[in-house]
């Protein structure tokens, strides 16, 4: 199939894909695909990758999941894939490679990196592209994964170091499969070792007296108040209005502060989110999670100690978090 890069798939075409998948997949698999697509899009935004392609790859990564083992083997052999004895005995692992090979014929999508991301979402490769890493991790951490081992740690790692997150995911998978008495994929340990080696090479000592910082504020000395002030500064730089902080420390375990900010349109909410995300990542404090970016009416950015809420005016008035947290100490900027 052709692997040339194509223009972004428009929303109307993506909606057609969603409708077709809804008919083709079991309900829980369809919801997982939607979750993977959304998480891949959020990770791509965080890592400054192509969000459209990440969403598309996440959406389609499991479209052959309901194929029988016999069908996967037949299609794989017909496409010239080499099948070893272990794979022949565990043909379900072929759903990614087969989906990648059928992507053009079945869905009319001809994009090398989208195909690569779909191909390796089950068994990652040390040299796969960044988009493939994002989709691999999104498949593991998307919101419907409620019982995945080490899930919260993996979610945090995915937004701070892709290679470290993949190494951790492979280790968790190996432990999980072994504990269930199942046979682990024979390449898991070798691939995990390759990712651990990549991480170790990246872990060079920080320069004396320094670490990543913004405005002269070292990472290791960050406080909730300092983190809040940086977010306030970044939001106001993009003309956010009605910027208010609510001190929740002592009232809830959710976080220390909510920062509320309003915007006039969805383009502005997304612009504020992008600016905060980029600059805080440079500072060494990337958001742990972002929700609502695609719609842009209420975007939530979770920084752990501080949660930033960016609203359209009517959305903010409707949900009225200031009233909900009326006991919180309030500060206007």
Q: Say whether pLDDT at 234 is over 70.
A: yes
| Secondary structure class of 312 (helix, strand, coil) | strand
The confidence score (pLDDT) of residue 330 equals 95
Tokens standing for residue 286: 């990337």
Residues 182, 188, 190, CA angle at the centre, nearest 5°? 140
Query: How far apart (Å, rounded) are the C-alpha atoms in residues 307 and 290?
Result: 10
Residue 208 pLDDT class (50, 70, 90 cuts):
very low
Walk me through the domains of the chain, giving residue ranges and CATH numbers.
11-202 (1.10.3210.10), 216-332 (3.30.460.10)
Q: Is 202 helix (H, G, I), strand (E, B) or coil?
A: helix
Return the residue matching tokens 């009517």: 314
191-194 long-range contacts, Cβ below 8 Å, gap at least 24? 191/123, 191/124, 191/125, 191/126, 192/167, 194/126
pLDDT, greater one: 294 or 70: 70
CA separation for the pair 262, 163 (Å, rounded): 36
Give me the mean pLDDT over the 150-156 stretch.
Answer: 80
* pLDDT score of 98: 95
Question: Residue 178 corresponds to which tokens in the numbers above?
Answer: 């072994």
- Say how many Å lie between the first and final Cα of the chain, rounded: 55
Mean pLDDT score across all residues of the chain: 86
Q: In this prediction, what percent of the chain has a pLDDT beyond 70?
A: 90
pLDDT digits (tens, 9 = 90+) for 99-108: 999 999 999 9
Between 274 and 203, the higher pLDDT residue: 274
Q: Are 53 and 111 in contact (CB under 8 A)?
A: yes
Whether residue 3 has pLDDT greater than 80: no
Per-residue pLDDT reduced to its tens digit, 131-146: 999 999 999 998 887 7
Q: Report the range of poorest mean pLDDT among 13-17, 34-38, 158-162, 210-214.
A: 210-214
In sequence order, which ranges of the chain are alpha helices (DSSP H)? 11-24, 27-46, 51-60, 69-78, 85-89, 95-107, 112-119, 130-141, 151-158, 162-179, 188-202, 224-237, 266-283, 313-319, 321-324
- Residues 205 and 123: their CA atoms lie apart, in Å, by 31
Give the β-pairing of 241-247 and 217-218: unpaired
- pLDDT digits 0-9 by tens, 22-32: 999 999 999 99
The pLDDT assigned to 207 comes to: 40
Higher pLDDT among residues 21 and 2, named by residue: 21
234 and 284 Cβ atoms separated by less than 8 Å: no
pLDDT, one tens digit per residue, over 155-204 is: 888 988 899 899 989 988 887 787 788 888 888 888 988 998 888 776 54
Mean pLDDT of 295-300: 90
- DSSP letters spanning 149-162: TTHHHHHHHHTT-H
pLDDT given at position 54: 96
User: What is the structure's pLDDT at 153?
Assistant: 80
Whether residue 218 has pLDDT greater than 50:
no
Which of 119-128, 255-264, 292-301 is the least confident region? Answer: 292-301
Task: Using the predicted structure, report yes or no on whether residue 216 has a pLDDT greater than 50.
Answer: no
pLDDT mean over 269-279: 92
Query: Quick one: DSSP state of residue 240?
Result: -
3-state secondary structure of 28: helix
Q: Is 217 helix (H, G, I), strand (E, B) or coil?
A: strand
Of the candidates 52, 56, 59, the one whose C-alpha atom is nearest the C-alpha of residue 21 is: 59
Contact between 67 and 96 (Cβ < 8 Å): no
Whether the pLDDT of residue 68 is over 50: the answer is yes
With beta carbons less than 8 A apart as the criterion, state whether 88 and 109 touch: no
Strand-pair partners of 219:
none
């Amino acid at each position: 199939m052709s692997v040339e890069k194509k223009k972004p798939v428009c929303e109307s075409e993506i909606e057609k894909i969603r409708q077709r998948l809804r008919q083709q997949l079991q309900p829980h698999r369809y919801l997982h695909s939607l979750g993977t697509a959304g998480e891949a899009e959020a990770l791509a935004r965080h890592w400054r990758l192509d969000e459209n392609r990440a969403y598309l790859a996440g959406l389609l990564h499991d479209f052959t999941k309901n194929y029988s083992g016999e069908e996967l083997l037949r299609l794989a052999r017909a496409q010239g894939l080499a099948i070893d004895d272990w794979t022949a005995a565990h043909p379900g692992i072929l759903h990614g490679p087969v989906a990648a090979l059928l992507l053009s014929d079945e869905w009319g999508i001809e994009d090398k990196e989208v195909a690569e991301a779909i191909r390796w979402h089950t068994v990652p490769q040390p040299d796969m592209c960044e988009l493939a890493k994002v989709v691999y991790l999104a498949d593991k951490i998307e919101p419907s994964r409620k019982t995945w081992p080490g899930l919260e740690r993996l979610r945090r790692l995915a937004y701070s170091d892709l290679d470290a997150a993949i190494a951790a995911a492979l280790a968790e998978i190996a432990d999980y499969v072994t504990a269930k008495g199942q046979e682990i994929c024979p390449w898991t340990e070798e691939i995990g070792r390759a990712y651990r080696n990549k991480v170790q090479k990246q872990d060079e000592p920080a320069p004396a007296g320094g670490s990543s910082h913004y405005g002269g504020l070292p990472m290791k000395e960050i406080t909730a108040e300092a983190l809040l002030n940086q977010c306030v500064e970044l939001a106001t730089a993009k003309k956010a209005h009605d910027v208010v902080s609510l001190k929740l420390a002592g009232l809830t375990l959710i976080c220390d502060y909510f920062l509320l900010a309003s915007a006039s349109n969805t383009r502005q909410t997304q612009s504020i989110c992008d600016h905060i995300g980029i600059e805080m990542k440079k500072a060494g404090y990337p958001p742990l999670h972002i929700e609502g970016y695609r719609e842009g009416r209420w975007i939530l950015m979770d920084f752990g100690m501080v949660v930033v809420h960016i609203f359209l005016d009517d959305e903010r008035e409707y949900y009225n978090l200031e009233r909900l947290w009326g006991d919180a100490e309030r500060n206007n900027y």
